[in-house]
Chain A
Amino acid sequence: MALLEVRGLSKDFGGLRAIDHLDFHVEEGEIVSVIGPNGAGKTTLFNLITGLFQPDEGEIIFDGHNLVGLRPDQITRLGVARTFQTVRLFFNMTILENVMVGLHGRTRSGILDTILSLPRQREEEEFIRQQAIEALSFFGKRLVGFRLNQPAFVLSYANRRRLEIARAMATGAKLLLLDEPTAGMNPRETLELTELIGRLRDEKGYTIVLIEHDMRVVKGVSDRVVVLDYGRKIAEGDYEEVAHNERVLEAYLGRKAVRSA
């Protein structure tokens, strides 16, 4: 059975249909790219899956649970974590703390445990710390060491994106939703991140859905590509198939040609 299954999903914004009866699925261990022109509803799709928006119609089944109607934190605890198109870190918290927040849903010590400093709570704090450092270590030495206790706003753009992924990893998710993970990166960083996304799946076993504009990245990592336009799925398949699909070309080039005229 598919890890994520979206059926008949629709979302209106005041008469504007952002997502229109979308069906779409992701198998366990797959890397799926969602592409499409600007305003095709890609980020809206992520917002619907993660519970930031409530859909008007349709079902989102993840790992046997319907996500519709659940709160974002509940969805995250079920195993879906995301990054944001406009990097949204807790900029004034340290790098380590940012990732530690990601572990909130996996831990449970309460106020009393904390005040009384019960052994269970101390162990848990240690666990949080270790897991956070482990997630950060996945990106090499960039985010660990002296960096750990620096505020997140000192980071470079690329590192902010990396930190956001680390934070999502720390939630213990099975499914990562990456919203334009390479936006704003230089070619070398992009290449590196492409490789890293592959490693996330191969070494860490994550299933990944990514929104991406950079076709080299899409080509490099995706097992399957889903193309959205006006909230509808207009094509699906491996990169080569999609890249030569007429409707896709039309969606990208046709409209662009019309616009620039």
Chain B
Amino acid sequence: MQRALPQQISDRFNFAAGVIWALRVIVAAIVVWGAVSTLTSGFYSASQWRDLFIFGLAQGGVYALIALGYTMVYGILGFINFAHGEVFMSGMMIGYFVADYLNEAGMWNGNPVLALLIVLVVSMLTSTGVAVLVERIAYRPLRESPRIVPLITSIGASFFIQYAFRGLFGAGVKSYPRMEALQGAITVLGVRILKVHVLVIVAVFIMMGLLYWFVEKTRMGKAIRAVAEDKEIAALMGVDIDRAIVMTFAIGGMMAGAAGLLYALVFNQVFFFSGFLPGIKAFTAAVLGGIGNIVGAMLGGIVLGIVESVGPILILSGLGIPAPHQLKDVVAFTVLVLVLIFRPKGLLGERLAEERD
């Protein structure tokens, strides 16, 4: 009950910092050891690595598109829109029904370009609609609440959307019809790449370019950035805050909808829970790139996609762990945890209004 002795306090071992340092060392050691032993074993050929890399790039591009939604919402409202994975899933799911119909009508393989465009538009519209609806119903009334409140709401919204889709469209796994035009591979610069991957990578870069142009150059984009910077000042400058926020959700939804179609082209299948894992991974990508930072989200997505594709084999198989592909998601979650522990501000730094004073 006496006052604690001063010496004891100042000399006390800083427990948390110590643990984090130890963790750093352990992680670095595991990564290096695993990678070195895999590479020296020579078990995987160069072309296998290249395939993994390209697959990772395509997958990462999709993550990047989803991540944009997380990062923009975080930048402007300061909370994690947990339901964004479901926004992505909803586009993919409704896109499936359209694709299925087009397939039956013979258009899916008859005129693949138009068919893809139609599905893309539907998918984007659906996701945009869901995103805007969620904002209107679940988040707008809570804008002034402590951050934890909209986060909990978004968890609720996430489960609601999942199980509403399950109830409405059934729990079964739905397979996108096979598109003949996208089968097989082509050779680009002497590298054999699956056609689907080419399409996805090209589409991702076009979408990202459009978004970047929109945010940097258009009036609305500037308004969004202004609101993200400082809501009050932006309002004083005549920016319609509500509109800017709705636009943010809408754009995030659009990107997620496009990602939905691209993801479906690569993985073919969709069911009501399909949004969860890509959602978490895209969030990881957003944090990895620096939350609130649009370019960061793009970069983070691509890095994460590649790490997730190459990582398990590169590191885990070198450690002698059987069936490393089973641990693919563990790798992604571990990246998430490690990023948040060691570099919560991300690769390119955060851009948040809230933290400044």
- Name A residues whose Cβ lies closer than 8 Å to a Cβ of B: 63-65, 70, 74, 77-79, 105-108, 123-124, 127, 172
Please state if A65 and B4 are interface contacts (CB–CB under 8 Å).
no
Could you tell me the dominant secondary structure of chain B's interface residues?
A: loop
Among the listed A70, A78, A79, A107, which residue makes an inter-chain contact with B1, where contact means beta carbons less than 8 Å apart?
Answer: A107
Digitize B1-19: 1 where CB-to-A-CB distance is under 8 Å, 0 elsewhere.
1011010011010000000
Known: A65-B10, A70-B10. A77 touches B1 (CB 8 A): no
Question: Nearest Cβ in chain B — how far from A16, in angstroms?
Answer: 13
Closest chain A residue to B4 by CB distance?
A77
Min CB distance, B106 to chain A, in Å? 63
Chain A residues near B6 (CB-CB < 8 A): 63-65, 77-78
Are B1 and A74 neighbours in the complex by a CB distance under 8 Å? Answer: no
Question: Knowing that A70-B10, A105-B4, A123-B1 are A-B contacts, what are 13 other residue pairs whose CB atoms are under 8 Å apart, sorted by A's residue number?
Answer: A63-B6, A65-B10, A70-B9, A74-B10, A74-B12, A77-B6, A78-B6, A78-B9, A106-B3, A108-B1, A124-B1, A127-B1, A172-B3
A117 vs B4: C-alpha distance in the bound complex, in angstroms? 22
- A172 and chain B: residue at smallest CB distance: B3
- Asked if B3 contacts A74 (CB within 8 A), the reply is no
List B1-44 residues whose CB lies under 8 Å from chain A.
1, 3-4, 6, 9-10, 12
Please indicate the chain B residues that have their CB under 8 angstroms from the CB of A124 in the complex: 1
User: Can you give 27 contacting A-B residue pairs, CB < 8 Å?
Assistant: A63-B6, A64-B6, A65-B6, A65-B10, A70-B9, A70-B10, A74-B9, A74-B10, A74-B12, A77-B3, A77-B4, A77-B6, A77-B9, A78-B6, A78-B9, A79-B3, A105-B4, A106-B1, A106-B3, A106-B4, A107-B1, A108-B1, A108-B4, A123-B1, A124-B1, A127-B1, A172-B3
Chain B residues with Cβ below 8 Å from A172 are 3
CB-nearest residue of chain B relative to A67?
B10
Q: In the complex, which residue of chain A has the Cβ closest to the Cβ of B9?
A: A74
Q: A79: nearest residue on chain B (CB-CB)?
A: B3
Of all chain B residues, the one with the shortest Cβ separation from A75 is B9
A65: chain B residues at CB < 8 Å are 6, 10
A124 to B4, CA, bound (A): 14
Distance (Å) between the CB of A155 and the closest chain B CB?
22
Considering only CB atoms, which chain B residue lies closest to A14 in the complex? B356
Q: Which residues of B contact A63 (CB under 8 A)?
A: 6
Leading 8 A-B pairs by shortest Cβ distance? A74-B9, A78-B6, A77-B4, A65-B6, A172-B3, A77-B9, A106-B3, A127-B1
